[in-house]
């Protein structure tokens, strides 16, 4: 696991620039660094040694050194591909998966990508024709960002590398603030830095003669097999997941596992007998502390379990550090908890497995139940439901009102993903520049248009895979683990697992009994019933409790009255939301937290135009 960066073209102090770009992501790879330069390109690399500890230093070359690669990720089927390449004449000088990529690209070109099983973001430079090929993995587990400066490409695993380029003009992207306020993250490929983009999951790009072309090589489509019986579906899930776990445990260093009380990480942890698992929680009762659940399961499956209680002061003081490492603001407070559990694990192991992706692939989120709950209401003609829903909006908040409101809207109108913060009207009222506010549904429409024939539950999964999972789940997983020089692997987001998940009938994903129905049945074969069937909690963080504490209420209120807040927001609205929450009039915690996190992030990256105001990282 590593970090990569680079740029094309001649500039003053090229050597110092590529060194700065590489040094700023040392946390991604503290074990060693690497550099390639010729008259056209500078490529930097930081390494976290996982496979071929002695021989895996990058850059890596093909036989005649005409191709050069820097690579971030893991290829789990690299040994199989290596054998295929040796049979057709390729000669290897390392035992790394990195070298398999360079020979594979030489042999198959872009057609190599569908052959890979793993997570990756890599750059391959061709000395002969001056072209640069960059690819990102199927689901976006590993990141890749880029920008053009006067016809030259600058790229990196993290945006902070790009900011080190002396010719890059740092400008705030207002479009990103608009989407962030609705989704709690900026919707890719946009970033908060104007003209910096992320390469989308399942895409590759070519850069040649000053031009970028991007191509999608993978799309996570669903094709339910309605002939699949429950028993057969559960068998297939159990078999493919065990195979994925075996592949994801390949390493030349010790591998551990995150463990919460949920079925996803619990299922993964059942393959870690006599190995280490890690859990964190808060001292606010069982609702915000899954440690007792995790400890109980740990005893049953025989793992060495490590835990940490996160204190209130510790949490709040870490917010700036987390937002620095994130590169962009993320209002999901669980990213801070993820930082702490990554830090805990990094004291014992270099690699962990985690449960990300199970909900999106197998239908785990509670909101996926909504289409099923609305089905009886669908017998009422939609125009009538629409009228009733409009009327219900004017009702006081009584039981059944939300149901009628949801029933009066089509899925494409009401669902933008797993987190919905502000709609267009709320943003217009809040922002000093209301003209930048847009309907969040506009960003979802291209995805919905691609899956018009799917049922509503599968449409929701498809949207979450492309937006929520990329913009929130995998972003925080990569940044928080890498901030602690820890490699995080996600066995649910294996392409072979997805090939099974995409065929599971909708009623075996979400039904009246549970979400992730078939997957839970597979997990039940390896763990107690109560763990396999436990209701999903996410990663609960007590922000709503803290915002009723005078100490933290005042921390946020100070931010809401700051010059930065005045620059973007009508602060009287912010303060009224904060006060309303503090006084117990309404639960405004998520809306308050979303803006607070943005203000913390902005002061780090834009508080001083000339530099990054790096918080204390010790």
5 catalytic per annotation: yes
Q: Which residues contact 30 (CB under 8 A, 6 or more apart)?
A: 46, 48, 485
What gap in Å lies between CA 308 and CA 343, rounded to an integer?
Answer: 10
Q: Are 288 and 152 in contact (CB under 8 A)?
A: no
Q: Are 49 and 4 in contact (CB under 8 A)?
A: no
Q: In this structure, how many other beta carbons lie within 10 angstroms of the beta carbon of residue 176? A: 21
What gap in Å lies between CA 587 and CA 489, rounded to an integer?
Answer: 35
DSSP E strand stretches across 171-253: 197-198, 203-208, 211-216
Q: In this structure, how many other beta carbons lie within 10 angstroms of the beta carbon of residue 590? A: 17
Catalytic residue among 5, 198, 257, 444: 5
Q: Which residues of 53-68 are buried (b: 16+ CB within 10 A; e: fewer)?
A: eeebbbbbbbeeeebb
Q: Are 393 and 408 in contact (CB under 8 A)?
A: no
Bridge pairing between strands 255-258 and 351-353: parallel
CA-to-CA dists, residue 50 to 56, 141, 257, 261, 441, angstroms? 9, 17, 16, 28, 42
Bridge pairing between strands 2-8 and 211-216: unpaired
Q: Which residues contact 159 (CB under 8 A, 6 or more apart)?
A: 145, 191, 193, 196, 327, 328
Q: Which residues of 24-47 are buried (b: 16+ CB within 10 A; e: fewer)?
A: bbebbbebebbbbeeeebbbbbbb
Q: Which residues are catalytic?
A: 5
């Amino acid at each position: 696991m590593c970090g990569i960066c680079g740029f094309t073209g001649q500039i003053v102090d090229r050597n110092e620039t590529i060194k700065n770009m590489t040094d700023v992501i040392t946390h991604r790879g503290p074990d060693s660094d690497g550099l390639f330069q010729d008259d056209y390109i500078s490529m930097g690399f930081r390494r976290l040694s996982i496979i071929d500890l002695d021989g895996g230093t990058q850059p890596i070359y093909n036989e005649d050194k005409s191709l050069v690669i820097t690579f971030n990720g893991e290829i789990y089927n690299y040994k199989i591909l290596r054998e295929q390449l040796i049979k057709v004449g390729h000669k290897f000088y390392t035992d790394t998966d990195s070298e398999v990529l360079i020979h594979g690209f030489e042999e198959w070109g872009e057609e190599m990508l569908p052959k890979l099983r793993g997570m990756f973001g890599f750059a391959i430079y061709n000395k002969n024709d001056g072209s640069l090929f960059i690819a990102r993995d199927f689901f976006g587990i590993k990141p890749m960002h880029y920008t053009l400066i006067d016809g030259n490409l600058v790229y990196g695993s993290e945006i902070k590398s790009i900011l080190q380029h002396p010719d890059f003009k740092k400008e705030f992207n207002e479009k990103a603030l608009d989407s962030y306020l609705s989704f709690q993250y900026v919707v890719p490929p946009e970033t908060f830095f104007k003209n910096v983009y992320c390469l989308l999951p399942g895409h590759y790009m070519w850069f040649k003669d000053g031009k970028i072309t991007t191509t999608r090589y993978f799309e996570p489509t669903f094709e339910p097999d309605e002939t699949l019986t429950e028993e057969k579906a559960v068998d297939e899930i159990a078999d493919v997941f065990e195979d994925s776990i075996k592949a994801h445990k390949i390493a030349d260093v010790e591998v551990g596992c995150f463990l919460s009380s949920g079925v996803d990480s619990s299922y993964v942890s059942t393959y870690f007998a006599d190995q280490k698992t890690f859990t964190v929680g808060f001292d606010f009762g069982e609702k915000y502390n899954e440690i007792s659940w995790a400890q109980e399961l740990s005893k049953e499956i025989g793992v060495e379990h490590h835990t940490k209680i996160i204190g209130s002061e510790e949490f709040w003081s870490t917010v700036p550090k987390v937002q620095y490492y994130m590169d962009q603001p993320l209002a999901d407070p669980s990213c801070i908890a993820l930082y702490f559990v990554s830090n805990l694990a990094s004291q014992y192991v270099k690699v962990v497995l985690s449960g990300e992706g199970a909900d999106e692939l197998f239908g785990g989120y509670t909101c996926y139940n909504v289409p099923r709950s609305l089905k009886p209401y669908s017998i009422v003609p939609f125009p009538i439901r629409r009228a009733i829903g409009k009327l219900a909006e004017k009702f006081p908040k009584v039981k059944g009102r939300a149901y009628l409101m949801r029933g009066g809207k089509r899925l494409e109108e009401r669902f933008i993903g797993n987190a919905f913060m502000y709609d267009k009207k709320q943003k217009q009222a809040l922002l000093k520049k209301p003209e930048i506010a847009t309907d969040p549904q506009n960003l979802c429409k291209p995805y919905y248009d691609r899956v018009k024939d799917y049922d509503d539950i599968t449409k929701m999964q498809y949207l979450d895979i492309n937006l929520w999972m990329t913009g929130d789940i995998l972003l925080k997983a990569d940044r928080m683990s890498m901030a602690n020089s820890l490699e995080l692997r996600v066995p649910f987001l294996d392409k072979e697992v997805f090939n099974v998940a995409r065929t599971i009938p909708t009623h075996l994903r979400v039904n009246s009994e549970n979400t992730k129905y078939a997957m839970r049945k597979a997990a039940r074969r390896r763990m107690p019933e109560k763990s396999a069937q436990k209701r999903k909690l996410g990663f609960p963080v007590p922000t709503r409790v803290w915002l009723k504490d005078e100490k933290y209420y005042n921390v946020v209120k100070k931010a809401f009255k700051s010059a930065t807040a005045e620059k973007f927001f009508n602060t009287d609205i912010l303060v009224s939301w904060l006060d309303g929450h503090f006084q117990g009039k309404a639960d405004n915690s998520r809306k308050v937290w979303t803006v607070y996190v943005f203000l913390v992030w902005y002061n780090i990256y834009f508080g001083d135009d000339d530099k990054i105001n790096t918080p204390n990282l010790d």
